[in-house]
Amino acid sequence: MLAEFAPGTTVAGVFTRNKCPGAPVDWCRAALAGGRARALVVNAGNANVFTGRAGAAAAKATAVAAAALVGCTTKQVFLSSTGVIGEVLPHARLTAALPALHADLHPDGFAAAARGIMTTDTFPKGSTRVASIGGSDVRISGIAKGSGMIAPDMATMLCFVFTDAKIPAEALQAVLSRAIDGSFNSTTVDSDTSTSDTVLLFATGQAKHPKVPPEGGALLRDLGQSCSRCCTIWRCRWCATARARRNWCASTSPAR
């Protein structure tokens, strides 16, 4: 799965606390310091974990290839991988697929993107909300992957959230961290912590609204609540209940 973002897009991230993270997690943690994003590349089938120098090289090669297509620096490319651990990622196959993905980019590709990141999931997961910043509407939408090992910290899951709001990276990080604490980090399935857990929030800045200060503040209250609701919905959809599989779990926001 490949996503391209408008110039000036800011990014926030929360990652696994596992002491042996995969190469994509290491890459994203380093890239997050810049606070800017232009591309996201996600692959399923191989987690690029416990692969040493080969894994780091695969992550870098993927970022280099994506950056060349989008026209940005490698540190503005974010990566995630999910799947089998302990096997070297055949990154040549991945990078060879990127040009066709880039040529086929379109704004209504969320459903295909949600399916593209699935592994053992039994259904794609997605959500969208409309929030207000200073009286102006902004949209927050995202997709998620995960179907087990959801404890003690987001385990074996990937989640990518996007908003058209214009938000400084510092304020965006505060919004995401609060949303994760009340959703993915408060769920348990089998007490394991994955090596690949990643949640990234991207703000493209395409919406028109009052300027948001670096500290965020009251202007982001509604957006923060919407982000939390999205993450809570995904958490509840992992419940092993027929009702949750049919629609949103009844314990989430009444909005459907």
Please check whether residue 30 is in contact with residue 75, taking contact to mean a CB–CB distance below 8 angstroms: yes
For residue 254, give every residue at least 6 positions away whose Cβ sits within 8 Å of its Cβ, in sequence order, or none: none
Asked whether the beta carbons of 48 and 62 are under 8 A apart, the reply is no
Set 10, 16, 62, 156: catalytic member: 156
Distance CA 174, CA 134 (A): 18
Cβ-contact 236, 245 below 8 angstroms:
no
Half-sphere exposure of 92 (CA within 13 A, CB side): 0
Beta-sheet pairing, 198-203 with 158-163: parallel
CA torsion angle for 171, 145, 97, 101 (degrees, to 10)?
-60
Candidates 227, 214, 221, 197; CA nearest to 14 is 197
Q: Contact, 203 vs 166, CB < 8 A?
A: yes
73 is an active site residue? no
- Residues 6+ positions from 123 with CB-CB distance below 8 Å: 245
130: phi then psi, degrees, rounded to nearest 5? -110, 130
CA distance 134 to 203: 16
Provide the 10 A C-beta neighbour count for residue 104.
Answer: 10
Active-site annotation, residues: 156
